Amino acid sequence: MVRPKILVACQDRAARQRIAETMRFRYRAVAVEDGWLALHLVNTADFSAMVISERLESLSGLDVAYSVRTSGFNMDVPIMLVAREVTPRIREMLEGGIIDRCIDETAETGAFLFEFNAMCGARAERAWTDLSDDVERVLRGARDAYSSVFAATSTEEPLDARLIKNTADLVVEAVQNGRITAVMNALQDHQDYTFVHSLSVSAVLAFFGREIGIRGDGLGVMAQAGFSHDFGKRVISHAILYKPGLLDTAQMVVIRRHAQAAGEILRHSDGVPTEVINVAERHHERMDGTGYPNGLTGAGIDDLSMVAAIGDVFSALIDNRCYKPRYTPDEALRMLRNMAGPHLEPHHVAKFVEVMSDTGFASWMAPPMEPPAADDSADPS
* Contacts with Fe ion, residue ranges (CB under 5 A): 230, 312
Quick one: 261 or 356, whose CB is closer to Fe ion?
A: 261
Quick one: 119 or 262, whose CB is closer to Fe ion?
A: 262
Quick one: 66 or 150, whose CB is closer to Fe ion?
A: 150
Quick one: 192 or 312, whose CB is closer to Fe ion?
A: 312
**What's the closest the beta carbon of residue 197 comes to Fe ion, in angstroms?**
6
**What's the closest the beta carbon of residue 181 comes to Fe ion, in angstroms?**
20
**What's the closest the beta carbon of residue 101 comes to Fe ion, in angstroms?**
26
**What's the closest the beta carbon of residue 6 comes to Fe ion, in angstroms?**
27
**What's the closest the beta carbon of residue 306 comes to Fe ion, in angstroms?**
14
| Angle, vertex CA 339, rays to CA 309 and CA 200, nearest 5 | 35
Quick one: 230 or 345, whose CB is closer to Fe ion?
A: 230
**What's the closest the beta carbon of residue 8 comes to Fe ion, in angstroms?**
30
**What's the closest the beta carbon of residue 345 comes to Fe ion, in angstroms?**
17
Quick one: 51 or 262, whose CB is closer to Fe ion?
A: 262
**What's the closest the beta carbon of residue 283 comes to Fe ion, in angstroms?**
6
Cα(5)–Cα(46) distance, integer angstroms: 7
Contact at 8 Å (CB) between 286 and 344? Answer: yes
Quick one: 230 or 285, whose CB is closer to Fe ion?
A: 230
**What's the closest the beta carbon of residue 293 comes to Fe ion, in angstroms?**
11
Quick one: 34 or 230, whose CB is closer to Fe ion?
A: 230
Quick one: 33 or 345, whose CB is closer to Fe ion?
A: 345
Residues pairing with 340 in the sheet: 344
Cα(336)–Cα(349) distance, integer angstroms: 7
Cα(42)–Cα(38) distance, integer angstroms: 6
**What's the closest the beta carbon of residue 286 comes to Fe ion, in angstroms?**
13
Over the chain, what HEC string results?
CCCCEEEEECCCHHHHHHHHHHCCCCCEEEEECEHHHHHHHHCCCCCCEEEEECCCECCCHHHHHHHHHHHCCCCCCCEEEEECCCCHHHHHHHHCCCCCEEEECCCCHHHHHHHHHHHHHHHHHHHHHHCCHHHHHHHHHHHHHHHHHHCCCCCCCCCCHHHHHHHHHHHHHHHHCCCHHHHHHHHCCCCCHHHHHHHHHHHHHHHHHHHCCCCHHHHHHHHHHHHHCCHHHHHCCHHHHCCCCCCCHHHHHHHHHHHHHHHHHHHCCCCCCHHHHHHHHHCCCCCECCCCCCCCEHHHCCHHHHHHHHHHHHHHHHCCECCECCCCHHHHHHHHHHHECCCECHHHHHHHHHHHHHCCHHHHCCCCCCCCCCCCCECCC
Quick one: 123 or 256, whose CB is closer to Fe ion?
A: 256
Strand order in the sheet with 28-32: 28-32, 5-9, 49-53, 79-83, 101-104
Contact at 8 Å (CB) between 152 and 87? Answer: no
